[in-house]
Structure 1
Amino acid sequence: MIDVAIARIEAVLLAAGVLLMAVNTMANVVGRYVLGESIFFSEELNQALIILITFAGISYAARHGRHIRMSAFFDAAQFRWRKALMIAIAVVTAAIMFLLTWYSFDYLLTQMRRGRLLPALQIPQWWIIVWVPLGFFLTGLQYTLAAIKNLIDPNIWLSTSTLEGYDTSAEEEV
């Protein structure tokens, strides 16, 4: 239930972030070329949205098994080796994501102590950085769950919801 709620929040954040960035950019272009005035906070807002989209997106991609993979050796291996590789990949990636969570959280605390404000928006700088450790943590959690699923299920899972393999149903119909 919690995982479903997090998935919905990620999807809403991604969709809203992309739409807001598009609207902000278009409004700034119209303002600049039609009205002769740029929106003074447009660049800062887009930077904040890029951070949000990037770090909400890495968790979303991990949840759906959509990260870029170099799988030539993986695809050529026998089933039991692919299974072991998938577990190792998920565990190592989760560990790296949790390490990055730690470092980015430390950076977030440093920025909070400094008390800097964004020049145009006049909001604390750490408000936009908060998505970095959160995104790394949720991604690490997704890879941990994928490792667990691979340990208890006989199939190979790229994520908790995505089975490994190619869809051959279209080829079979031909």
Structure 2
Amino acid sequence: MNLLKVVDKIILKIEEFILSYAVIIIALMVVGKAIIRETFSYSLPFADEVSQIAVVVATFMGISYAARKGRHISMSAFYDLAPFKVRKMLAIFIPFVTAIVLFVLAYYSSLYVLDVYESGRVTSALQMPAYFLYIFIPIGFLLGSIQFLRNMLVNITHRDEVYLGTDAKDYNDQETKELEGTHL
């Protein structure tokens, strides 16, 4: 179990590193291209491509990070109004279904990456193999599916609280406990 916690922390640090630098690269490329174009009337030919790569990396590597932190997009109107038992069931069911969908997407996107690899395509400006751009898609889907399974397991093992992510308790439970504490 300690080995899994160490691996999880390493994966978290790698995700944070990748996401941080992807956002920095996006900002540098977009702002730098605009400044250079206005100042020198010249456009960096590789800036759009580097930005695109960074956006793909940030998007798909961010799936797992968002799931871990409970920061993923959710439509929670019904969920927020539901009683604890319903929220608990949803907190187990929704991550399970999401994990299955992400596993399927990881499978199909890996087939696409293999197809791009076998085609030998390269990017237009950098002339790097195109599969380097797409390899982060199945990796992100796979890590995201694993993280959603972890979210499901956390909600199964912690019966008295609802977790939105492995690192994030449901804010509805915190508000309920605060209200209960004021009535005592």
Give the TM bin, normalised by the shorter chain.
over 0.9
8 Å contact 2:91–2:164 — kept in the other structure?
yes
Structure 1, unmatched stretches of 5+, are: none
Distance in 2 between residues matched to 1:101 and 1:120, nearest whole Å: 27
Give how far 1:118 is off.
0.5
Residue 112 of structure 1 corresponds to 117
Given the alignment of the two structures, is residue 44 of structure 1 paired with residue 49 of structure 2, yes or no?
yes
Residue 157 of structure 1 corresponds to 163
* TM-score (norm. length: structure 2): 0.88
Q: Report the count of equivalent residues.
A: 173
8 Å contact 2:29–2:48 — kept in the other structure?
no
Secondary structure at the aligned position of 1:158 is classed as: strand
Aligned identity (percent) is 35
Give how far 1:30 is off.
2.1
Distance in 1 between residues matched to 2:83 and 2:30, nearest whole Å: 49
Residue 78 of structure 2 corresponds to 73
Residue 86 of structure 1 corresponds to 91
Structure 2, unmatched stretches of 5+, are: 1-5
Secondary structure at the aligned position of 2:164 is classed as: coil
Given the alignment of the two structures, is residue 58 of structure 1 paired with residue 63 of structure 2, yes or no?
yes
Distance in 1 between residues matched to 2:78 and 2:37, nearest whole Å: 51
Give how far 1:3 is off.
1.0
Given the alignment of the two structures, is residue 13 of structure 1 paired with residue 21 of structure 2, yes or no?
no
Moved more, 124-133 or 15-24: 15-24
Give how far 1:77 is off.
2.2
Given the alignment of the two structures, is residue 27 of structure 1 paired with residue 28 of structure 2, yes or no?
no
Distance in 2 between residues matched to 1:131 and 1:21, nearest whole Å: 16
Pick aligned residue for 1:148 from 149, 153, 156: 153
